[in-house]
Amino acid sequence: MGEFELIRRFFASAACAAGGEGIALGIGDDCALLQLPAGEQLAISTDTLVAGVHFPDDADPFLLGQRALAVSASDLAAMGAKPIAFTLALTLPDARADWLEGFARGLCAMASDCGIGLVGGDTTRGPLSLTLTVFGRVPAGQALTRAGARPGDLLCVGGSLGDGGGALPLVLGERQERGPEVDYLLQRYWAPQPQLALGQALRGRATAALDISDGLLADCGHIAAASGVALLVETTKLPLSSALESLFSREFALNCALSGGDDYRLAFTLPASELAAIRADWPEVAVIGRVAAGQGVHLLDDAGAILQPPALGYQHFGSQGD
């Protein structure tokens, strides 16, 4: 199967490539054309996933397609952007029709969930890797960023933490278990749901935000650095799912929540006066700490004493926690 037949058969004709709001021209020309309403800005983010680094070499292609797009779309949620389109650069060791069919189905399933359309990309031969670029739109001046947190703000997250880290031993086959708790954690890992609606609702309310991909402590460190403040995280307030707590020890579950990564929940700082309005529509939002004067991220026990944190989170270059 040649490159152009591959693109036509599995991607250009896929449901997620049918176009949509904001897409003036999709697959089939040298460039795609996106149309922004007046007064809006374009939000762009790129992620690369590599076999053996970000996912197992033998990962189910349908699940991989879902996860690859969800990971990228989560960055749009973090900025409060509404999705428009995405591109896919796909490097394959070989063009297996069964693998491509499963991958394309998973990709389209997540595209439908996120309301985003495929508008182009590239294919080439080599070790399996996926590079996705997502495009979204946001009213000018209203994008959420990592800068802006102020002392006195609440530190919040969009739901339970640690599920992605807790799923990893199951994904890697280090634990062989079955049951609804296992199914839940695997679903959270392979099909995380970008918190797009929450991100858009936080525009004009949150003072800073990002999505949790490398671990709560590591990612909160980015807000602290960009905003020039300290973030105080209270361990007793960390929201843990019943599935995570039933399968693992309390210590392991807390470590997953703090530094496991792969949660793709939003972490954000919020004036206390805005909390009730957000929780009215998102009751799962949890307050896990506060913003203070100072710098860095500090972990507090139930008495307010500072704890030594575990490894901060995942890093591509250098040892964990550096």
Query: Is residue 224 included in any domain, yes or no?
Result: yes
What pLDDT, in 10s, does the model give residues 256-274?
A: 999 998 999 999 999 999 9
Instruction: Name the domain boundary from 109, 139, 169.
Output: 139
Both 45 and 112 in one domain: the answer is yes
Query: Is residue 144 included in any domain, yes or no?
Result: no
What is the largest distance, in Å, between two alpha-carbon atoms of the chain? 64
Both 20 and 112 in one domain: the answer is yes
- State the pLDDT at residue 174: 87
**pLDDT > 70: what percent of the chain?**
95
* pLDDT confidence band for 1 (50 / 70 / 90): low
Both 169 and 278 in one domain: the answer is yes
**Number of neighbouring beta carbons within 10 Å of residue 12:** 15
Query: Is residue 209 included in any domain, yes or no?
Result: yes
How far apart are the two ends of the chain, measured CA to CA in Å?
Answer: 45
Q: If you average pLDDT over residues 12-17, what whole number do you get?
A: 86
Higher pLDDT, 318 or 174: 174
Both 223 and 297 in one domain: the answer is yes
Both 91 and 163 in one domain: the answer is no
Both 117 and 238 in one domain: the answer is no
* pLDDT confidence band for 319 (50 / 70 / 90): very low
Q: Are 128 and 57 in contact (CB under 8 A)?
A: yes
* pLDDT confidence band for 315 (50 / 70 / 90): very low
- State the pLDDT at residue 14: 86
Query: Is residue 217 included in any domain, yes or no?
Result: yes
Lowest mean pLDDT of 47-56, 73-82, 198-207, 269-278, name the range: 47-56
Domain span including residue 23: 3-139
Residue 316, pLDDT above cutoff 70: no
C-alpha–C-alpha distance, residues 194 and 113, integer Å = 9
Both 27 and 118 in one domain: the answer is yes
C-alpha–C-alpha distance, residues 40 and 142, integer Å = 9
Both 21 and 87 in one domain: the answer is yes
Both 122 and 203 in one domain: the answer is no
> 123-162: buried (b, 16+ CB within 10 Å) or exposed (e) per residue?
beeeebbbbbbbbbbbbeebbbbbebbeeebbbbbbbbbb
Query: Is residue 318 included in any domain, yes or no?
Result: no
Query: Is residue 147 included in any domain, yes or no?
Result: no
> 294-313: buried (b, 16+ CB within 10 Å) or exposed (e) per residue?
eeebbbbeeeeeeeebbbbb
Look up tokens 């792969």; give the residue: 262
CATH number, domain with residue 285? 3.90.650.10
pTM, full prediction:
0.92
Q: If you average pLDDT over residues 192-218, what whole number do you get?
A: 97
Q: In whole numbers, what is the pLDDT of the chain averaged over residues? A: 92
What pLDDT, in 10s, does the model give residues 81-129?
A: 999 999 999 999 998 999 999 999 999 999 999 999 999 999 999 999 9
Query: Is residue 146 included in any domain, yes or no?
Result: no
Residue 317, pLDDT above cutoff 80: no
* pLDDT confidence band for 190 (50 / 70 / 90): very high
Instruction: Name the domain boundary from 112, 139, 166.
Output: 139
Query: Is residue 148 included in any domain, yes or no?
Result: no
C-alpha–C-alpha distance, residues 81 and 87, integer Å = 17
- State the pLDDT at residue 313: 52
What pLDDT, in 10s, does the model give residues 149-184?
A: 999 999 999 999 999 999 999 998 888 888 999 999
Count: domains in the chain: 2
